[in-house]
Structure 1
Amino acid sequence: MGCRTSKVLPEPPGDVQLDLVKKVEPPQTDIYKHFIRGDGSGSKMRGEKTGSPSPQAQAPPDTGQPEASDPRRNKVAKYRAKFDPRVTAKYDIKALIGRGSFSRVVRVEHKSTRQPYAIKMIETRYREGREVCESELCVLRRVRHTNIIQLMEVFETAERVYMVMELATGGELFDRIIARGSFTERDATRVLQMVLDGVKYLHTLGITHRDLKPENLLYYHPGADSKIMITDFGLASTRKKR
């Protein structure tokens, strides 16, 4: 029996939800995490609730099996299953780093050399996908320039084409502009000089990119002295020889 001065603690609100799922965040050094939106494996999903779990909450028993709720692991497994065995025999699939209407880009590692690359997987069973693939391959098989993404090798199947390319780890020019807030005239001049060098080279081959924008200009590495690389030739046009 309590004394007259004792108080009854209020019941916790009924709408409080406890987050009992362990969040597995990607390494902070992974600059591609912001490319993966909406699947929980990159940046935080819009509307996602945060909070500390209750002290009374207990973690599920360790069964020794991978967690089925790990979205990043599930995402990698999902795209690895779509790859042709010839590709997975040579490359380890590491992470999804980009997506388009008919394509997906994944970061891979060569099994023998441990060299990282990017593989662009294009669905060619759709007419639009075939057109984009043909346009990009037509250009990338001809070009070799320090400011243009380099094609390494190609795997083709009845429904997909896998293009193994250089991996640019510095992110998009667009993202770097947003992160810095502004560019000095010196910075902008340096970027434009590299872009124009690449465009001049393309024009000497009769190739027009037709989709130049900050999102299609990648930094080769995260450093301030990184070169710019032109990518995404899905809308490119090649002048026909007369």
Structure 2
Amino acid sequence: MGLLTRQPESYVKKKQYTFNRTLGEGSFGLVRSATWNAADPPIGVAVKVISKKILKGHDEIVQGEMDVLKGLDQPHVVKFLDWFESKDKYYLVFEEATGGELFDRILARGRFTEVDACRTIRAVLSAIDYLHRHNIVHRDVKPENILYRSQNEDANVVLVDFGIARHLTDENEILTNVCGSFGYAAPEILAKKGHGKPVDMWSLGVITYTMLCGYTPFRSDDPAKLAAETQRGKVEFHDRYWKNISPDAKDFVKRCLTVDPSQRITAEEGLKHAWLDESSATAGASHDLSVGLKENYRKRWRTAINMVRASTRMAALGKSGGAAAQPKKSQFDSDTEDEDAGYHTGDDGDDDEATAVAVAKQQDAANGETHHGGLAGLVEKVGHVKLGGHDDAK
């Protein structure tokens, strides 16, 4: 699946799609809203466009994502619909989830109770359990990767972005690369001790904790100190925000945020936990959790995210010798003038950040390594990720 001298056979599929606005941009490419005209009736889809130039010949990354996604069919896992390629890009087609990100939707909704939280976490956990039963580890479970399928009040949540997911060869396979997103990555990932399915449950624990009180369990503004806090795993339930939360909810969080992965609750066990029985959450049914999110999440956590992003930019710029100031349109723009006329990037999204990380990844790829997810640019403090992931098992 390398670069070709003429358009690949599958490229004819591109005519079936009408491309619309850019939904987001990252270090390997972007995601665009599109209409799949070949469907009956035509449907809205999200198309992940991946630059072959930035892959630097490591096309197995894309193949790995498709191998993970093929055949998956679960209400809370995003559906992979189709794929095709051009000379310069891969196009992965997914169902479009238009209802917004998890916490943004909760904040916009207003009142959100423990019962609501219980239902939401159960839905996400059912997706994780489905993946784990198929020997798939997502490895980047975070609020930004949990989307509502539509704007409808009763819309399902779906787990998206399987770019660093791994299909384990067997139950005992141990992965050793550093991956995931800072603040949600499990202690064993940061400690480079080897990891597997339990990392998804740790991430779910961070999400659950944050959803119930409005702030994250580990809160240092310094990336190295945040990594150390995560590895210690000391979880506190401050009375001001937790006094109205049920004991079962706190127990579920503690079981997820257990530092020792062998003792951490599994997805299967989690679905049987008392808290996920809605009747157990009635004690906090009248308490509005959105108050904590409004007070804390928007201010402190967004500040922390910006801090990590700034660190990512600085590390990427350092690796590139300051050459990441201006994006190179040729990386993400048209394959040829006749192929993608009018195709452009930068409609939305953070171009300078995406470009800085892209340059860092190009530099690393030349050295035979890369970084995945929100940990990119922080490897000086945390560790390295082996490209492709085929040599990270032991």
Common topology (TM > 0.5)? yes
Partner of 1:101: 27
Pick one of 49, 53, 57 that aligns with 1:125: 53
Partner of 2:44: 116
- Percent identity of paired positions between Structure 1 and Structure 2: 36
Partner of 2:16: 90
Query: Which one scores higher on RCO, CA 8 angstroms, separation ≥ 6?
Result: 2
Q: Is the 8 A contact 1:124 1:133 kept in 2?
A: no
Root mean square deviation, CA, Å: 2.2
Note the residue ranges of structure 1 that are not aligned, 5 or more in a row. 1-83
Is the aligned partner of 1:198 residue 2:122? no
Partner of 1:49: none
Taking the TM superposition and a 5 Å limit, the aligned residue runs for 1:131-170 are: 132-170=61-99
Note the residue ranges of structure 2 that are not aligned, 5 or more in a row. 1-9, 173-394
Partner of 1:184: 113
Letter in 1 for 2:27: S
Q: What is the CA distance between 1:215 and its match in structure 2?
A: 0.3
1:112-144 deviation digits (Å, cap 9, x = unpaired): 432211111111332377454233212111311
Q: Is the 8 A contact 2:136 2:165 kept in 1?
A: yes
Q: What is the CA distance between 1:221 and its match in structure 2?
A: 0.8
Q: Is the 8 A contact 1:219 1:227 kept in 2?
A: yes
Secondary structure of 2:82's partner? Answer: strand
Q: Is the 8 A contact 1:135 1:233 kept in 2?
A: no
Q: Hey, what's the Cα distance between the residues in 1 that align with 2:37 and 2:163?
A: 29
1:63-115 deviation digits (Å, cap 9, x = unpaired): xxxxxxxxxxxxxxxxxxxxx96344111112111111112111111224322
Q: Which moved more, 1:120-129 or 1:147-156?
A: 120-129
Q: What is the CA distance between 1:182 and its match in structure 2?
A: 6.3
Letter in 2 for 1:127: L
Q: Normalising by structure 2, what TM-score?
A: 0.38
Structure number with the higher helix fraction is 2
Structure number with the higher strand fraction is 1
Q: Normalising by structure 1, what TM-score?
A: 0.60
Which has the greater radius of gyration? 1
Letter in 1 for 2:77: I
Q: Is the 8 A contact 1:172 1:217 kept in 2?
A: yes
Taking the TM superposition and a 5 Å limit, the aligned residue runs for 1:48-59 are: none
Q: Hey, what's the Cα distance between the residues in 2 that align with 1:107 and 1:87?
A: 16
